[in-house]
């Protein structure tokens, strides 16, 4: 009888867990360049004012900011949001970071390894300060694979010899980040969002990454979604925070 009761309780707990997981609804927003120079504005280069409008709006409207490593523990009853920035431009430190500090908001930067300490990109000391703040997670965005054109990258992904080169490139970027920060990273963003199931298995199983991101449009609905490259919502220059929220709400279960 006791065994039967314990079985019923275990099943109920599993059902409750599954039910809560179905309602994670985490919105991952993808930014690139954030600048205070109007001459640089483009589709994927927004103003610092736009970025502050976003962070202020999300802060004042009950959103919980998560870093990628915290997505596994997201409260299913919260309005969860993950701010990500690809490539590692130095304007993230200059323009975005002070805004994150002002609102105590968390974010992630996916750094191109070959660009560390290069003109226009984040310097080692800036990455260290971002990391020490506790607000910013530094992720891997490959070392040189990001330089490849889309059609060339697809060739790398589908050719076994080139695929090994791609994997070594990811490992190289990880080593560069470790050298700068003194610790590794478990977050990875695919250049141009391109990946194959085989590469994803290698990145997860062999390289130990726990969160990976693509550029496909969508939401993270459950913990199962965190186990595969996660979809994101592009932040486009000219959009308002309300526009972003409308996209989020249109995608929710």
Segment 156-188, tens digit of pLDDT: 777 888 889 999 999 999 999 999 999 999 999
CA distance 202 to 199: 5
* Mean model confidence pLDDT for the chain: 90
49-96 pLDDT per residue, tens:
999 999 999 999 999 999 999 999 999 999 999 999 999 999 999 999
What percent of the chain is predicted at pLDDT more than 90? Answer: 77
The DSSP output letter for 42 is B
CA distance 17 to 164: 38
From the list 243, 211, 246, the residue with the least C-alpha distance to 50 is 243
Token duo for residue 142: 């490959």
Q: Where do the domains of the chain lie, and which CATH numbers do they carry?
A: 2-251 (3.20.20.370)
Q: pTM of this prediction?
A: 0.89
pLDDT above 80 (res 149): no
CA distance 28 to 20: 19
């Amino acid at each position: 009888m006791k065994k039967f009761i314990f079985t019923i309780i275990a099943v109920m707990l599993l059902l409750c867990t599954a039910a809560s997981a179905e309602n994670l609804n985490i919105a991952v927003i993808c930014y690139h360049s954030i600048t205070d120079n109007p001459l640089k504005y483009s589709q994927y280069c927004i103003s610092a004012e736009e970025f502050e409008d976003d962070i202020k709006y999300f802060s004042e409207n009950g959103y919980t900011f998560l870093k990628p490593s915290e997505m596994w523990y997201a409260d299913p009853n919260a309005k969860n949001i993950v701010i990500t920035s690809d490539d590692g431009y130095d304007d993230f430190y200059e323009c975005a970071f002070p805004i994150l500090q002002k609102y105590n908001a968390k974010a992630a930067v996916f750094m191109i390894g070959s660009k560390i300490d290069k003109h226009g990109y984040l310097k080692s000391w800036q990455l260290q300060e971002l990391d020490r703040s506790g607000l910013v997670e530094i992720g891997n965005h490959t070392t040189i694979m990001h330089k490849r054109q889309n059609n060339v990258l697809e060739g790398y992904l589908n050719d076994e010899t080139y695929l090994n080169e791609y994997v070594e490139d990811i490992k190289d970027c990880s080593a560069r980040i470790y050298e700068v920060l003194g610790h590794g990273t478990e977050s990875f963003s695919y250049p141009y969002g391109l990946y194959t199931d085989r590469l994803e298995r290698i990145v997860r199983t062999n390289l130990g990454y726990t969160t990976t991101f693509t550029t496909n449009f969508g939401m993270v609905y459950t913990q199962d979604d965190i186990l595969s490259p996660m979809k994101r919502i592009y932040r486009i220059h000219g959009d308002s925070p309300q526009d972003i929220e409308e996209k989020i709400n249109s995608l929710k279960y």
